[in-house]
Chain A
Amino acid sequence: MADTQTIRIDPITRIEGHLKVEVVVDAGDVKEAKCSGQMFRGFEMMLLGRDPRDAALLSQRVCGVCPIAHAMASALCLDSAFGVDGQIPDNGRLMRNLIFGSNFIQSHILHFYHLAALDFVDVSAAADYEGADDGLKSLRGFIGRGELAPFMPRYEGDYRLPKEANQQGAAHYVRALEARRIAHEMCAIFGGKMPHQVGIVVGGCTETPTADKIAAFLSKLEWLRRFIDDVYIADVLAVAAAYPDYFGIGAGPKRYLSWGGLDLETKETNLLKRERFFPAGRVGADLTLEAADAEQVAEYVRNSWYDDATSGRKPAEADTVPAPDKESGYSWLKAPRYAGQPHEVGPLARALVAYAAGDEAVKRDVEAVLGRLEAGPEALFSVLGRHAARALEARRLADAMLGWAMALKPGEPVCEWRGVPESGTGRGLTEAPRGSLGHWCEIQDHKLTRYQLVVPTTWNASPKDDEGNPGPMEQAIIGTKIRDPENPFEVVRIVRSFDPCLACSVHMLTPKGREIGRCRVL
């Protein structure tokens, strides 16, 4: 065992939230991997006893990167609890999709350029740039002053792009700051502001569409469509060409789940049957589509800092007791499993489910990528497969948003606004940029008596379950060859390809009906 070595990466930066990863390497290969969520907040507990309508606005504060996904899941959950889920006005549905879609694009651009790219692109190539690109001239001046934070220090020894491509990547890093900002401006047009929008509420949306808002939105969307086509997708392909081995690294469990998302109609009240831009489903490595069934989800805690007695419960029946010192625990994340098995969620899962469901646009995209690689679908189960799926999803979404914006009707209703029901239950299932998201609620005496979330990164970055099956991200790391333990590029590239969002993924459930004391008067 002389060759055995533990590599501990804490913190994993350039993700949302607080994550530690430990890997055990034997003779260069990863034998064990542990992903550990480092923060616990108890958000669900904080929602109990409140006016249910507040949940759409407060629950999104779980995450500043994907708040809209939570606002959306919460609104869908409340729609069903309030009994308005079949009556959302078209304007409300469309504005929800436009706000949500804009943030998908923002999130994907932010992820590729500002979170992931620094593992592939060497920005120091800007040091001797002699051309006229404004961003590169800025970076050259920055490097010349000698204070290189936050771009240095970093892992070294595996930057493979040619100098011109590195310079181009660095220029696009700067340009992408503007691109993601513009995408958030689109969110604000119909959502008020971003992060933490205010437009998506139970029953629909609060904004009123007008020609000037639609025109402003479309102008920004067109700018972004060009950016996605000419810059984002081109850069993903350039990275793929220089790092082709990453089509064979980081596969994970090869089981994929999508709840579906972005409603194309709202008459169907079963969200898993509703016609949606992202179809719902579950596939394995053979890409045969199975219907998604939310009843198949259970959460395990043997390796999490929670009381073992609460392990194996369905979300709607869950009850969680933190045990911060528990010996066998190594994460604040629980381990959700679908039909007892770890499942990957996110853009790759959505693409594979849509592919299996026969979505024409997705099939074209997938076949184009595989044709270029001269490879079979297994090449998609990889670090680069995830990056490619994300970029192509951004393009399909931008195309669809053009149609949604044009379908808005000024002067028509935006919201089916009702009073809070005396009692009810709700379930909101959708897709966040980083994967499948569910909110569950129960209302009694006009107040929230139960509120629960099962979020994307809890699926992807989960610890081992009670059977000892590692989580998807852990599985993706296990078996990887680490070339240089001092600079474990492979591990951080795999982790970041999942776009983890740890703030969302740690939360807490409380016993049914628990009364929460409120301090309104101090």
Chain B
Amino acid sequence: MANSEPVEEHAAVWFQASACSGCVVAALNGVAPTVRDLIVDQIAPGHHVSLKFQPTIMAGSGTVAVDILGATEEAGEGYLLVIDGALPTAAGGLFGRAAGRGGESTMHERALELAEKAAAVVAMGTCAAYGGMHAASPNPTGCVSVTDALAEAGIEKPIVNVAGCPPHPDWFTGTVGHVLLFGLPTADEVDSAGRPKRFFGHLLHDLCQRRGDFEANRFAKSVGEPGCLYELGCKGPWTHADCPEREFNGGLNWCVKAGSPCHGCVEPFFPDVASPIYRKIGLPELPRVALDTGSGRLAVVMRPQPAEDE
């Protein structure tokens, strides 16, 4: 990444809620920009992200870490808040404890406090964006998405959902870079699930290298066979992401190319509606999935239909 002077510093806080750290590790895997561009050099010419708090990599522990987080909150200058993980709300939030200012707090409470003082929020990964794996049925810890938690608390902040379990690093750096260079995405630039259309604007099925096999009725019947993975349960026809074009880990591979059906991990319906992962999508289901934003809550609408299981 080309560096330039002067450099504008942008304060950022990465708060980890009920998460697996996969989103953090994914962010480390960026090739262009790299994580070095992100935290040491410049994410875009003239722009440096000053990552005040990031529990997986920050040097300080304990009060040293809690104090810098508190100081960033109190500075009154706003910051970009990145949250990975969903927010546990059951049992008064005790399933996710967190150090607070002046004592014990919960992830749910801290996330809301941090969001109030933030300039904008990036919900990093499907758990933060929609609940994801951590809210999977029967959701014993009452995990909710960042959007739902903020709505419930009446906190109005711009939120961008960088979906994926975990997201492609470009989806994260591209979104942050866009915010720094061009401002928050406009309503036209995000889809109904709050994701940047730049990355999530196309049906994965339409971009897939195996689409030709689908059209020609060449279907893999068993793992390891060539052909379209539709019969093996691929959720590509339900999933919006540019995985086939972008590919993961330096553009080397992605799920379907590696012989695995897409699990739909960028969608609000992941994982409950996406599983059984190897269950073929019945033909009547193909056009019937939509996102319901009418209620103000993201949900998958899938009209009842006769089961088409093999």
How many residues of chain B have a CB within 8 Å of chain A? 91
Q: Which of A77-96 contact B (CB under 8 A)?
A: none
Minimum Cβ distance to chain B for residue A474 (Å)? 17
> 21 A–B contact pairs at CB < 8 A?
A11-B55, A15-B56, A16-B21, A41-B18, A41-B88, A51-B275, A54-B276, A54-B278, A110-B28, A115-B56, A153-B59, A153-B68, A177-B36, A185-B249, A191-B258, A192-B254, A198-B260, A205-B224, A206-B259, A519-B272, A520-B273
Minimum Cβ distance to chain A for residue B261 (Å)? 8
In the bound complex, residues from chain A placing their C-beta under 8 Å from that of B224 are 204-206, 208, 413-415, 417
Instruction: State whether the Cβ of B240 lies closer than 8 Å to any Cβ in chain A.
Output: no
Minimum Cβ distance to chain A for residue B220 (Å)? 10
Instruction: State whether the Cβ of B184 lies closer than 8 Å to any Cβ in chain A.
Output: no
**Additional A-B contact list (6), CB under 8 Å, known A18-B98, A192-B254:** A13-B58, A145-B9, A149-B58, A195-B22, A199-B259, A415-B223
Q: Which of A17, A61, A150, A519 contacts B165 (CB 8 A)?
A: A61
The interface bits of chain A over 136-152 (1 if a CB of B lies within 8 angstroms of the residue's CB, else 0) are 00110110010101111
Contact B248 A194 (CB under 8 A): yes
Instruction: State whether the Cβ of A366 lies closer than 8 Å to any Cβ in chain B.
Output: no
Instruction: State whether the Cβ of B91 lies closer than 8 Å to any Cβ in chain A.
Output: yes
Contact A14 B61 (CB under 8 A): yes
Minimum Cβ distance to chain B for residue A8 (Å)? 7
The interface bits of chain B over 280-310 (1 if a CB of A lies within 8 angstroms of the residue's CB, else 0) are 0000000000000000000111111000000
Cα–Cα, bound, A108→B154 (Å): 43
Binds A, one of B129-137, B145-153, B190-198, B202-210: B129-137
Instruction: State whether the Cβ of B279 lies closer than 8 Å to any Cβ in chain A.
Output: yes
Binds A, one of B45-53, B155-163, B171-179: B45-53
Minimum Cβ distance to chain B for residue A115 (Å)? 8
In the bound complex, residues from chain B placing their C-beta under 8 Å from that of A204 are 223-224
Instruction: State whether the Cβ of B19 lies closer than 8 Å to any Cβ in chain A.
Output: yes
Cα–Cα, bound, A39→B134 (Å): 12
Contact B277 A51 (CB under 8 A): yes
Contact A41 B95 (CB under 8 A): yes
* Known pairs A14-B57, A154-B60, A206-B223; A147 contacts B50 (CB<8 A): yes
Minimum Cβ distance to chain B for residue A207 (Å)? 5
Q: Which of A96-135 contact B (CB under 8 A)?
A: 110, 114-115, 118, 135
* Known pairs A53-B276, A325-B94; A185 contacts B250 (CB<8 A): yes
- A-B contact number at CB 8 A: 288
Cα–Cα, bound, A275→B174 (Å): 46
Q: Of residues A193, A205, A332, A522, which shows the largest number of chain B Cβ atoms within 10 Å of its Cβ?
A: A193
Minimum Cβ distance to chain A for residue B77 (Å)? 13
Instruction: State whether the Cβ of B31 lies closer than 8 Å to any Cβ in chain A.
Output: yes
Instruction: State whether the Cβ of A50 lies closer than 8 Å to any Cβ in chain B.
Output: yes
Q: Which of B3, B31, B255 contacts A198 (CB 8 A)?
A: B255
In the bound complex, residues from chain B placing their C-beta under 8 Å from that of A503 are 19-21
In the bound complex, residues from chain B placing their C-beta under 8 Å from that of A225 are none
Instruction: State whether the Cβ of A180 lies closer than 8 Å to any Cβ in chain B.
Output: yes
Minimum Cβ distance to chain B for residue A154 (Å)? 4
In the bound complex, residues from chain A placing their C-beta under 8 Å from that of B302 are 520-522
In the bound complex, residues from chain B placing their C-beta under 8 Å from that of A195 are 22, 25-26, 166
In the bound complex, residues from chain A placing their C-beta under 8 Å from that of B96 are 18, 38-40
Q: Of residues B3, B97, B278, B302, which shows the largest number of chain A Cβ atoms within 10 Å of its Cβ?
A: B97
Q: Which of A17, A53, A114 contacts B21 (CB 8 A)?
A: A17
Minimum Cβ distance to chain A for residue B199 (Å)? 15
Binds B, one of A24-32, A63-71, A399-407: A63-71
Instruction: State whether the Cβ of B239 lies closer than 8 Å to any Cβ in chain A.
Output: no
| Nearest 5 interchain pairs by C-beta | A64-B22, A192-B258, A206-B259, A198-B260, A193-B248
Contact A67 B22 (CB under 8 A): yes
Minimum Cβ distance to chain A for residue B86 (Å)? 9
Query: Who on chain A is nearest to B125 by CB?
Result: A64
Minimum Cβ distance to chain A for residue B137 (Å)? 6
In the bound complex, residues from chain A placing their C-beta under 8 Å from that of B98 are 11, 18, 38
Contact B275 A58 (CB under 8 A): yes
Instruction: State whether the Cβ of B64 lies closer than 8 Å to any Cβ in chain A.
Output: yes
Cα–Cα, bound, A509→B197 (Å): 40
Query: Who on chain B is nearest to A514 by CB?
Result: B138
* Known pairs A174-B36, A324-B91, A516-B138; A188 contacts B253 (CB<8 A): yes
In the bound complex, residues from chain B placing their C-beta under 8 Å from that of A187 are 249
Q: Which of A178, A189, A332 contacts B252 (CB 8 A)?
A: A189
* Known pairs A145-B7, A147-B50, A324-B95; A64 contacts B24 (CB<8 A): yes
In the bound complex, residues from chain A placing their C-beta under 8 Å from that of B88 are 39-41
Instruction: State whether the Cβ of A364 lies closer than 8 Å to any Cβ in chain B.
Output: no
In the bound complex, residues from chain A placing their C-beta under 8 Å from that of B253 are 188-189, 191-193
In the bound complex, residues from chain A placing their C-beta under 8 Å from that of B272 are 518-520
Contact B97 A18 (CB under 8 A): yes
Instruction: State whether the Cβ of B117 lies closer than 8 Å to any Cβ in chain A.
Output: no
Instruction: State whether the Cβ of B141 lies closer than 8 Å to any Cβ in chain A.
Output: yes
Query: Who on chain B is nearest to A107 by CB?
Result: B25
Q: Which of A45, A147, A177, A521 contacts B35 (CB 8 A)?
A: A177
Instruction: State whether the Cβ of A211 lies closer than 8 Å to any Cβ in chain B.
Output: no
In the bound complex, residues from chain A placing their C-beta under 8 Å from that of B50 are 147, 149
* Known pairs A142-B40, A185-B252, A503-B21; A51 contacts B278 (CB<8 A): yes
Cα–Cα, bound, A51→B248 (Å): 27
Contact B65 A13 (CB under 8 A): yes
Q: Which of B36, B136, B301 contacts A138 (CB 8 A)?
A: B36
Minimum Cβ distance to chain A for residue B25 (Å)? 5
In the bound complex, residues from chain B placing their C-beta under 8 Å from that of A11 are 55, 61-62, 65-66, 98-99
